[in-house]
Amino acid sequence: MGKKVQPAVKEPGKIAEHSEVSLGELKAVGAETGERKEIRIAIAGLGNCASALAQGIEYYRNIKEEDMYINGLMNPSVGGYLPKHIKVVAAFEVNALKIGKDVAEAIYCDPITTPHFVAPEKYPKTGTIVQAGPVLDGVAPHMRERFHVYEDVDPKIKPCDVVQVLKDARAEILINYCPVGSFKASRFYAQAALDAGCGFINCIPEFIVSEQVPGDKDWVAEFKERGLPCAGDDIKSQVGATIMHRMLAKLFLDRGVIVKDTYQLNIGGDTDFENMKMESRLVTKRKSKTAAVTSVLPYETKCRIGPSDFVPFLLGKKICYIRMNGVTFGGVPLEVDVKMRVEDAPNSAGVVFDIIRVMKLALNRKVSGRLDSIASFSFKHPPIQPPSDIIAKSWVAEFIEGKRER
């Protein structure tokens, strides 16, 4: 595990008080006591984001509840749950190189480009073997070779009974990490979560929790009827293009500057960007990212947001260019240009850590249906777009304390 660097502060031991809202020190309703507690998660799509999440469980295994601002983790503790309490008990893939391997090995298999912040040889075996999931529309035609799809590589491999695997593993939460554009695959796993009695976290821009797509079933009503929580859609990064763009738009609004027009261009080198070369898979992605930014403004403005190109040699890096054209005092123009470069997959893993732990509290409290508070804070396209991320974080705090129903 890497060496932790903790910044010097004026009051050691009270660092969390400097945050707008600290989630770690809240008295959580539905929290468990003792060290034997665990959160049993299953993952659909063991790609770059899942690799970062799984590596993070090991990387932060030894942190304590009182730790804060330790190498980029937003909230070491949520409701008394630490990263070490999260356990991957099932995983589903279409990549023949990953199927049949322990999760500890599969999270490093091709075409993973996520940085190894936990060295493969230091990651302990989990005892969880990756199972073959159905392909459905989870793989774009141009990605079949890149993803080593088992139907092409080894036709003897057959998809498992996902629901039975979830039940046998006693999974509590299923996380959807399928590639962008996986309409059918996402709904397959949402149904599997329902049938297996799991909460559902939808990390991709398929609108399952945030809105009912015409002709689709009312997924939120189904989860509520089964007594299960759900959260989505389309995960935000810790500090990513969307939240940076939102904060700039909110800054312009608060300071009386009119946003005349704005754009956000993104390039990257991982399989997410390679998959998104197919424009037909980007419809909900563009809608999700655009709504996340324009929703903070009380007026219409010209806005273009979305992936722009796949640059293979960038590997897991994502580069974002944001342009804001504003009108300030006296009608004088104001222009802002921002460039941000991040490792894409790890940038969202810490956010998912928090969603997992909040959903565990919901399960303990038997809260069913959509979890509006954590969705508003953690997803680009939530059921309720918050006026600001600070307000959304306060909603999460209120939910943890039992002051908000969901």
* Domain CATH code at residue 49: 3.40.50.720
Q: What is the pLDDT of residue 15?
A: 47
Q: Are residues 314 and 377 in the same domain?
A: no
Q: What is the pLDDT of residue 21?
A: 63
Q: Are residues 47 and 131 in the same domain?
A: yes
3-state secondary structure 337-379: EEEEEEECCHHHHHHHHHHHHHHHHHHHCCCCEECHHHHHHHE
The dihedral region occupied by 228, where left means phi > 0, alpha psi between -120 and 50, and beta the remainder, is beta
Q: Are residues 91 and 175 in the same domain?
A: yes
Q: Are residues 368 and 321 in the same domain?
A: no
Q: Are residues 252 and 351 in the same domain?
A: no
Q: What is the pLDDT of residue 34?
A: 77
State CA 104 to chain mean position distance.
Answer: 20
Q: Are residues 281 and 168 in the same domain?
A: no
Residue 317 falls inside a structural domain: yes
pLDDT mean values, one per 10 residues, the chain (406 residues): 49 50 81 88 98 97 81 88 96 98 98 97 98 97 97 96 98 98 98 98 97 96 98 95 95 97 97 93 91 95 92 96 98 98 95 98 97 97 92 95 94
Which has the closest alpha carbon to 53: 348, 296, 258? Answer: 348
Kindly give the residue spans of alpha helices, DSSP state H, lying in 39-110: 48-59, 103-106
Q: Are residues 307 and 286 in the same domain?
A: yes
Q: What is the pLDDT of residue 24?
A: 74
Q: What is the pLDDT of residue 13?
A: 45
Altogether, the residues listed in the chain come to a count of: 406
Residue 3 falls inside a structural domain: no
Residue 14 falls inside a structural domain: no
CATH number for position 314:
3.30.360.10
Q: Are residues 90 and 172 in the same domain?
A: yes
Q: Are residues 200 and 247 in the same domain?
A: no
Full domain range(s) for residue 79: 19-236+346-400
Q: What is the pLDDT of residue 19?
A: 55
Q: Are residues 330 and 366 in the same domain?
A: no
